[in-house]
């Protein structure tokens, strides 16, 4: 199993540009998440999904959109990039709704908006 | 109020010594889970250990153990016999909510502790 994969690893955007961060998992996990990590900080939840076709906002959703058309994929869309979106983005997944279920993280996408 | 507090921004520890990383949490929910993740310089998040709020015993995973003091709302990570490869950022995280609650899946993270092991 590849686990959780993310592309690209690194990207530079100009202010106002758009892009999609890709995330895929091959563990047949129902739950998927997008987090952002700002320098020196912990992770904050942007959006999450509990299954194909079902998504919901997390703590910091403004400026982002998501979709979940398949169990495997959970792309994150930035429509009008702003310098405040400079961050490292992590995608994660977990199998079921259980208190002890851990989330498995992808390697991250480092995004720089200039 | 901060849900997860890690008061040690950085720590330096001699190789082979034990180290304790502090974590306190705040919740009014009786059902919750506490996690520790390691983030090496390569950037990925690695799950280390889990403690449930109803677990009677402290969790252990190899050299990692969790010192869970429920009344004090603390969940400190203890690493025994530290190694150079333990140098990394360490994050404490919490999941609140009962098993049946839809949407209570998010992890709330602390700001992390940067651990440096000195040879």
The whole-number average pLDDT for the span B11-18 is: 96
pLDDT exceeds cutoff 80 at B99: no
As a whole number, mean pLDDT of residues B66-93 equals 96
More confident residue, B29 or A82: A82
Closest alpha carbon to A41 in B9, B13, B106: B9
pLDDT greater at residue A58 or residue A81: A81
Q: Is the pLDDT of residue A34 over 60?
A: yes
Please state whether beta strands B10-14 and B113-118 pair in parallel, antiparallel, or not at all (unpaired).
parallel
Torsion angle, CA of A63/A2/B90/A20, rounded to 10 degrees? -10
Contacting B with CB below 8 Å, chain A residues are 31, 33, 40-45, 48, 50, 56, 58-59, 88, 90, 92, 94, 97-100, 102-108, 110
Report whether pLDDT(B100) > 50.
no
B44, A94: Cβ pair inside 8 Å? no
Chain B residues contacting A via beta carbons under 8 Å: 4, 31-33, 35, 37, 42-47, 50, 52-53, 91, 93, 95, 97, 99-100, 102-103, 105-107, 109-112
Spatial CA neighbour of B91 closest among A84, A25, A103, A33: A103
Number of C-alpha atoms within 13 angstroms, CB side, residue A113?
Answer: 18
């Amino acid at each position: 199993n590849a686990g959780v994969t993310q592309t690209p690893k690194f990207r530079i955007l100009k202010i106002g540009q758009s892009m999609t961060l890709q995330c895929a998992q091959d563990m047949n996990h129902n739950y998927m998440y997008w987090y952002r990590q700002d320098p020196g900080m912990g992770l904050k939840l942007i959006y999450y999904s509990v299954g194909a076709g079902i998504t919901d906002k997390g703590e910091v959703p403004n400026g982002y959109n998501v979709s979940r058309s398949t169990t495997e994929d959970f792309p994150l869309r930035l429509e009008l990039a702003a310098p405040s979106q400079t961050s490292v983005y992590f995608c994660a997944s977990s199998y079921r709704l259980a208190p002890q279920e851990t989330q498995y993280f992808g390697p991250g996408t480092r995004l720089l908006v200039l | 109020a901060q849900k997860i507090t890690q008061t040690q921004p950085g720590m330096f520890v001699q190789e082979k010594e034990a180290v304790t990383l502090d974590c306190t949490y705040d919740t009014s929910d009786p059902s919750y889970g506490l996690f520790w993740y390691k983030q090496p310089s390569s950037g990925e998040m690695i799950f280390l250990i889990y403690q449930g709020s109803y677990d009677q015993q402290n969790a252990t995973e190899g050299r990692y153990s969790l010192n869970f003091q429920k009344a004090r709302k603390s969940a400190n990570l203890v690493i025994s016999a530290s190694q150079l490869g333990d140098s990394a950022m360490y994050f404490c995280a919490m999941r609140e909510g009962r098993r049946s609650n839809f949407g209570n899946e998010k992890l709330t993270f602390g700001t992390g502790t940067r651990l440096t092991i000195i040879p």
